[in-house]
Amino acid sequence: VKANDGVLTNFEVLNFLRSRGAGKDLTRVIAPIAPSEFKVYDYLEQTAACSQTRESIISFVGKSKQYKLAEAEILNLINIRPSSVVEIDPIVEECDKRMGEGVEELVEMVLQVLPTPPSQMQSDDQVEFNKDDVREGQEVEAS
């Protein structure tokens, strides 16, 4: 068994919970999901994972190879989905030294390959993430 065989991105955990009916049961009583699991679902639905797909993640991992990033850094990029150079800073160690100008290319790649999370789709003025709006949107899709 490979040591990193069991690693899961936020997306995979969210997908697992969705496949058991987490997003479909509005009452939260019928689906066989524990309250503590619903809390994890609620958290992940607010992160970039909620609009990601398996294909986009696989594509991203492939395109990351040229940047010689550590596995943990790639995982962080997928989970956080930074949209600017300053957001990449805490994720890639010694970013300036290792990447120089290349970091802007990396940001472009992230923006293109990984879907935009709902929080970043709101207008530039409104930085606050309105959780209720997203929930409502999801409920409409589910019905």
* Interface residues toward another protein, by CB under 8 A: 1, 3-10, 12-13, 16-17, 34, 36-37, 39-40, 42-43, 46-47, 70-72, 75-76, 79-80, 82-84, 86-91, 93, 119, 127-129
Contact, 51 vs 117, CB < 8 A?
A: yes
Residue 34 or 143 with smaller CB distance to another protein: 34
Phi, psi for 28 (deg, rounded to 5)? 65, 20
CB of 36 to another protein, least distance (A): 4
Output the smallest distance, CB 141 to another protein, in A. 22
For residues 78 and 143, which CB has a smaller minimum distance to another protein in the complex? 78
Nearer to another protein, 101 or 124 (CB): 124
Minimum gap (Å) between residue 26 Cβ and another protein? 18
| Nearest residue (CB) to another protein, 1 versus 140 | 1
Q: How far is the CB of 113 from another protein (least distance, A)?
A: 19
Residue 140's Cβ-count burial label (10 Å; 0-12, 13-18, 19+) is: exposed
Q: How many CA atoms lie within 13 A of 74 on its CB side?
A: 17
Q: Which residue has the tokens 């970039």?
A: 48
Residues 89 and 106: their CA atoms lie apart, in Å, by: 12
Question: What does the alpha-carbon distance between residue 106 and residue 88 come to, in Å, rounded to a whole number?
Answer: 9
